[in-house]
Amino acid sequence: MKKLRSLVEKIQRKEIPLTQEAVRNEIRDILGVRIVTSFIDDVYMLKEHIEQREDIRMIRVKDYIQDPKMSGYKSLHLIVETQVILSNEIIWVPAEIQIRTSAMDFWASTDHKLNYKYQGETIPEDAQKQLIELAKASSLMDKEMSRLRTKLLAN
């Protein structure tokens, strides 16, 4: 669950009116889960599985694996509504599911820790370039591991 401070900062940054309806419509990641897999193919297999569930509605897909962010960040983000059964009603709650490989998760976690120091400031350009190069190396490792998996399972 998103921490209150983070939620308030996002509401202020996006200039969202402080009403339940506005926040519900504009902030889709108050609840979230991250799933870490070993292989890229597993990311998309899980997406297909989630799409087939009756208790989850897919709202939007953000595929940062096929279209990485400028920083090099990769992950598959599913914006969903999930069914919550209460004693007297069923409600649909917005949530975000992030699915990524171990290599993507390591890069994203480390990038976040390094960037946290520079919150509100610009990270030095040489460090930004190095992070992008490390993201490319991480992506290459994912691809090679997938090739190795295919090779080993084919025999």
In the chain, beta strands by DSSP E: 31-37, 56-63, 76-85, 90-101
Asked whether 63 and 76 are in contact (CB, 8 A), the reply is: yes
- Where in the sequence numbering do the catalytic residues fall? 96
Q: Phi, psi (5° rounding) for residue 17?
A: -60, 145
